[in-house]
Chain A
Amino acid sequence: MGTTTGTAAGTRDTTGSPRSRLLGVVTLLAVAVLGVLAFVLTDPDVRIHPTTGEEFGQFDAVRMLYVHVPLAVMTYLAYGICAVASVGVLVKRTPWWDVTAHAAAEVGTVFCGLVLVTGSIWGRPVWNTWWEWGDVRLMTTLVLFLMFTGYLALRRTTDDPRRQARRAAVVALVAVLDIPLVNRSVEWWENRTLHQRSTIGELKIEDLTLFTLFFGFVTAGLVLAWLLLHRFRVGWLEQAALDHGVAAAIAERHAETDDAEVLRSVGERAAGEGTSGDGEPGS
């Protein structure tokens, strides 16, 4: 993120704009403040058992949640944007929606991968396992991640751009509609295991803890916004570069065919053979 802030308006070959640079600076500041809040100002989660007097809780592992939970929420937001944009692709059929959907899916998948990794790292000390099969959110997020891995794989295939846009939109919509089913099925499934575990709700909530979590949401939101904006612009440029390529290819095709030569090679018939004026080639 830092790279944009350093770029002055001198070069215009960039996806940055004055406003996006401001956003970048604010985002970096927010990340720094979040770091201070999460590691310096907040206390570890230590609770005293009412009867035995034993210390328990998540201790310092709770600090992982200040990044994990906001990322998870923003993952769902990004995929939500992707779903809305996918509807736009199918209804409006314009590149704008397609580029937006692709950007949201890619950024969302980066976030989703981080959510899974941070969740796993947090789960190891707290749940005493890297992976908890019975957890609804964990499993749902994993399936979502796998679905959008497929989505991005589809995006990487060479295909007619318009067809690819629609195929990808269908995949995104099916994924999003399937998610409630995944969620519900894992939830029922989990009831079978009745796994005892810590959740956010059981945290010793202090004002500062809550504020830090809230600030985490803001920060993750800013990061998401910055990444989406720039990913969109990259996609937009890719689209423009390809369109530009098409225009160039048309010109090239016109230049490379010597009409007289072609007519000679195909035979003498044809020229002036009653195309009744409608056959006039365009400029």
Chain B
Amino acid sequence: MTHVGYLVAGWGIVVGVLGTYAVRLVRRGRALSGRVPEVHRRWLEAPGPAGSEDGRASGA
């Protein structure tokens, strides 16, 4: 295989950065969750009261 160094670097950076970012998001979310009453986390119950759970993920 040619360009192994480039490929390892490129894919490694992508996986590393995205993985780190994802972990940080989850950690931030957990830290914040403890400070906020559960009513604000409507995603905990499958059907949200305003039915906006799906809409909230509109980016997805």
Question: Which A residues contact B (CB, under 8 angstroms)?
Answer: 1-4, 12-20, 23, 31, 35, 39, 44, 59-61, 63-64, 67-68, 71, 78, 81, 96, 100, 103-104, 107, 110, 113-114, 117-118, 121-122, 124-125, 223-234, 236-238, 240-241, 244
Contact = CB atoms under 8 A, between A and B. Distances in A.
A12 B32 contact: no
A232 B29 contact: no
A122 B8 CA distance: 11
A14 B6 contact: no
A144 B23 CA distance: 26
Contacts of B10: 64, 67-68, 117-118, 121-122
A117 B13 contact: yes
Interface of A is mostly: helix
Interface of B: 1-4, 6-7, 9-11, 13-15, 17-19, 21-23, 25-26, 28-30, 32-38, 40-41, 43-44, 46, 52-53, 56-60
A110 B18 contact: yes
Contact of A225 (B15, B52, B59): B59
A230 B2 contact: no
B7 A60 contact: yes
Given A3-B23, A63-B7, A228 B57 contact: yes
A240 B14 contact: no
B13 A223 contact: no
